[in-house]
Amino acid sequence: MKMYLISDNIDTQTGMRLAGIDGVVVHELDELRTALERALADREIGIILLTEKFGREFPDLIEETKLHHRLPLIIEIPDRHGTGRKPDFITSFVNESIGLKL
């Protein structure tokens, strides 16, 4: 299975291409929707990497896609500007998921 990147900037795409991951750069909602549909239709793609900016700007589309498609796995990654998440987001996620305070 392959990974595929949908990015909002060329720098992230360039870095991923150096790692052997193909992808596309999009900026608008319609472009993102089209790129997601193409990636979802390709049975060789097992993981779709999205920059975090899409998760912040178009959360409804991203959540809808995650809920209605078992594969490929959709993962949000930081871009060249870093992450928009708080420093302890992993600990918070575990706390909320299993109700265990770490």
pLDDT band at 54 (very low <50, low <70, confident <90, very high): confident
Average confidence score pLDDT of the chain = 84
Number of domains in the chain: 1
Residue 86 has pLDDT above 70, yes or no: no
Query: What would the mean pLDDT of 19-48 be, rounded to a whole number?
Result: 93
Amino acid type, 18: L
Q: What global pTM score does this model have?
A: 0.76
Range of the domain at 39: 2-98
SS3 52: helix
CATH of residue 87's domain is 3.40.50.10580
The encoded tokens of residue 27 equal 């900026």
